[in-house]
Amino acid sequence: MHTVVLCRSVSKTSSKVSSPFTHALPYIQAHSGYVPGEQPKAHTVIKLNTNENPYPASPAVADALAKIRVEDLRRYPQAIAEDFRQIAADVHGVDAENIIPTNGGDELLRLALTTFVEVGDKIIVTQPTYSLYPVLAEVQNCILEEIPLRDDWSIPADFAESLIQSRAKMCILVNPHAPTGCLLPSAYIEKLVKSFEGVLVIDEAYVDFVDPKESYNCVPLIDSHENILILRTLSKGYALAGLRFGYGISNKSLANPIMFKTRDSYNTDHVSQILACAALQAQDHAQANWEKIRNSRSDLITALNELGLVTGASQTNFVLVQVPANHSAINISQALKDQNILVRHFRQPRLEDKLRISIGTEKENRALLSALRGVLQG
């Protein structure tokens, strides 16, 4: 029987919390907020800590950027990014009305909670998971129920039944999973969406790196199910993390309330819309990039295991590494940082003895492995 951790935000009637932000609501003051990965200014750092794409975006993006006229910036952008909606619809084989353009995937998550979850409602996530989810639940002042993954990071056998019994308004699953890299098959997602009465959000931020042999594709589920919302982003697969552009794919029953009720006006700007269109149209470049990263991932997993750093399979652009018992994960992280190599260490239960390492270029991966050999032998 799995363990369930209940995390409820402080209610509006709770006592005041000592804070310099005296005008903030008490439950906002009470929570800690999201802590992003380190973003160094120096370009000499080998940055393997925030799962960015190691290769540049398509040359088509650079061409589109060069053609943007400064004089056009005096006008507002397309209010609903209709050009992008149509291009994304063509890529995924859906209607433009099924596409929800957002200022990064994180905005879609916030909009989903704002639109479909009330104060005091319950949200289900796994543990561990993307660390922004609990923050968004606290901001919305709702109940967060965390269901732990098994020791091998697989989903509990009774997870679907737990969803039914929970009466939760929403379940958010990152798939492929972060920070483990594991993938739930499309058939399992379909099983969940059929049985769950709430909104099922599938965060597919890393889906572009899934091995094609997995035949993973949840997009067709929006045709027959009104309660599934799929998150996509241009940050990872399209090497545009600095642009902040993402989008949702869903049935119109979910898309329309977000697009025309809760979304901010002009939530995506003129420049980002143009570059996002260019990136999504350059599918040949993107897919070649994904294949290169998949190959590097396989090589890196083999090399890390040879060093005694137990690394399981991954369907993302990162790997989760188990540090040997005679070493400290945080110390290894610091030792790498001293050599201008950043990896991610999480001060969280079940992750404190592990490191998450993004897939870099071949040169960056070699530098990482060389540094790790020195640290482990030192």
Examine domains 46-55+284-377 and 60-282 and report if their fold is the same: no
C-alpha–C-alpha distance, residues 163 and 254, integer Å:
20
Tens of pLDDT along 23-65? 888 888 888 888 888 888 888 999 999 999 999 999 999 999 9
Mean pLDDT over 84-96 rounds to 98
The answer to whether residue 15 scores a pLDDT higher than 50 is no
> Percent helix, strand and coil across the chain, each rounded to 5?
40, 15, 45
pLDDT score for 17: 47
The answer to whether residue 10 scores a pLDDT higher than 70 is no
Q: What is the DSSP string of 124-162?
A: EEEES--THHHHHHHHHT-EEEEEEPPTTSPPPTTHHHH
Domain 60-282 has CATH 1.10.10.60: no
Radius of gyration of the chain (CA): 21
Mean pLDDT over 142-147 rounds to 96
Quote the longest CA-to-CA distance of the chain: 62
C-alpha–C-alpha distance, residues 184 and 24, integer Å:
39
The pLDDT-based confidence of 11 (bands split at 50, 70, 90) is very low
**174-192 CB burial, b ≥16 within 10 A, e <16:** bbbbbbbbbbbebeebbeb
pLDDT score for 3: 46
Tens of pLDDT along 160-216? 999 999 999 999 999 999 999 999 999 999 999 999 999 999 999 999 999 999 999
Contact of 259 with 79, CB cutoff 8 Å: no
pLDDT score for 45: 96
Within 8 A by CB and 6+ apart from 92, the residues are: 98, 99, 219, 249
Tell me, what amino acid is at 186?
Answer: S
Cα–Cα separations (whole angstroms), residue 260 to 80, 129, 140, 223, 256: 9, 30, 20, 21, 6
The answer to whether residue 16 scores a pLDDT higher than 80 is no
The answer to whether residue 292 scores a pLDDT higher than 50 is yes
**Torsion-angle region of 35 (φ positive above 0: left; ψ -120 to 50: alpha; else: beta):** beta
Identify the sign of the CA torsion 267, 270, 274, 279.
negative
Identify the sign of the CA torsion 350, 290, 358, 234.
negative
The answer to whether residue 341 scores a pLDDT higher than 90 is yes
Residue extents of the structural domains in the chain = 46-55+284-377, 60-282
The answer to whether residue 14 scores a pLDDT higher than 60 is no
Tell me, what amino acid is at 268?
Answer: T
What fold is seen in the domain 46-55+284-377? Aspartate Aminotransferase, domain 1 (3.90.1150)
pLDDT score for 58: 98
The answer to whether residue 22 scores a pLDDT higher than 50 is yes
Tens of pLDDT along 96-122? 999 999 999 999 999 999 999 999 999
For residue 85, give the H/E element and its range: helix 82-92
Contact of 285 with 59, CB cutoff 8 Å: yes
The answer to whether residue 8 scores a pLDDT higher than 90 is no
The answer to whether residue 294 scores a pLDDT higher than 90 is yes
The answer to whether residue 20 scores a pLDDT higher than 90 is no
DSSP lists the bridge partners of residue 147 as 126
Percent with pLDDT over 90 in the chain: 88
